[in-house]
Amino acid sequence: MSNEMETPKEGKYIYGIIRYDAPIEYGHIGMGKRTDLVYGINYKGITAIVSNSPIIIYEARRVNMITHERVLEEVMKQFTVLPVRFSTISEHSDDSGILRIIEKDYNKFDDMLSKMEGKKELGLKVMAHEAAIYENIIEKYDDIRNLRNKLLNLPPDKTHYQRMKIGEMVADALKKETENYKNIILDALNPLAEDVKINDNYGEMMILNAAFLIKNITEPEFDHAVNELDEKFGLFMTFKYVGTLPPYNFVNLVINTKGI
């Protein structure tokens, strides 16, 4: 019995789905160390963007995720794209398996592409400036400021519980203030978006972590609104505005490659 590892079979790695009816290639930018040719497989005007790949499970490591996204970003320069879940691989080494997938899910792909046509995802993360936001709380909340002032010249060992109380009051005020700022930002941006996905915050200083689905024609107006918010609140927070992104937050495309 051989101790050598069996060489994985060959398949097709699927990056995304577009509406296109002619041959197309994107060069040797595919998944893994081989950097296989990325190209399109077309069926009745709908094209899957693929590359050759061993049939393996790609680890969700940074280098692999970046490669997957880089391909989608290249495609998005020309087309509306439905991003396919990371590490989706057809178990056929030729184009036949991909053609059967498109044929089987043709109506679903067609409908989703129509809904996403002329739209893009933009990401916005807003982080509070810790020192500035705390100073704003001290100025705004009289009860916190008055209690803090009473304790300024008293020894810490005799004011332990009062200082704990201030900490609790500040934490409550911070939660209230970040929620208030979040609502102000969303009130300004929501009317310009087709859809919004609010993602989980990480850390108490994060005010907003959101994705916006925007029509291409309204992007300049949306950019302007974000810039106005940045100018208004830049003393208290940082706006990290990212686009154009594959619409992962608005397209949940899971392709079943088994038995096809």
Mean pLDDT, the chain, whole residue set: 88
Query: What amino acid occupies position 172?
Result: D
Query: What amino acid occupies position 228?
Result: E
Q: Does pLDDT of 3 surpass 50?
A: no
% residues pLDDT > 90 (the chain): 62
**159 or 202, greater pLDDT:** 202
Lowest mean pLDDT among 8-12, 24-28, 160-164: 160-164
Encode burial over 42-67: b for 16+ CB neighbours within 10 A, e otherwise: bbeebbbbbbbbbbeebeeeeeeeeb
Domain range annotation of the chain: 10-117, 120-245
Task: Please name the residue that has the structure tokens 């679903």.
Answer: 108
Lowest mean pLDDT among 8-17, 48-57, 158-167, 246-255: 158-167
Q: Do the Cβ atoms of 124 and 190 come closer than 8 Å? A: no
Q: What are phi and psi of 202, to 5 degrees?
A: -130, 120
pLDDT value of position 156: 66
Q: Do the Cβ atoms of 206 and 238 come closer than 8 Å? A: no
Helices (H), the chain: 62-76, 96-104, 106-116, 130-140, 142-151, 160-189, 219-233
What is the CATH class of 120-245? alpha beta
Nearest to 19 by CA among 64, 78, 85: 78
pLDDT tens by residue, 124-136: 999 988 888 888 8
Lowest mean pLDDT among 31-35, 81-85, 168-172, 213-217: 168-172
pLDDT tens by residue, 231-256: 999 888 999 998 778 888 999 888 87
pLDDT tens by residue, 192-209: 999 999 998 888 889 999
- Sequence-ordered list of residues with C-beta below 8 angstroms from that of 260, at least 6 positions apart, any chain: 90, 92, 97, 100, 101, 104
- Full 3-state SS string of 56-82: CCCCCCHHHHHHHHHHHHHHHCCCCCE
pLDDT value of position 160: 67
**What value does the mean pLDDT take over residues 72-101?**
93
Q: Which two tokens stand for residue 168?
A: 């609790």
Query: What amino acid occupies position 123?
Result: G
Q: Does pLDDT of 65 surpass 80?
A: yes
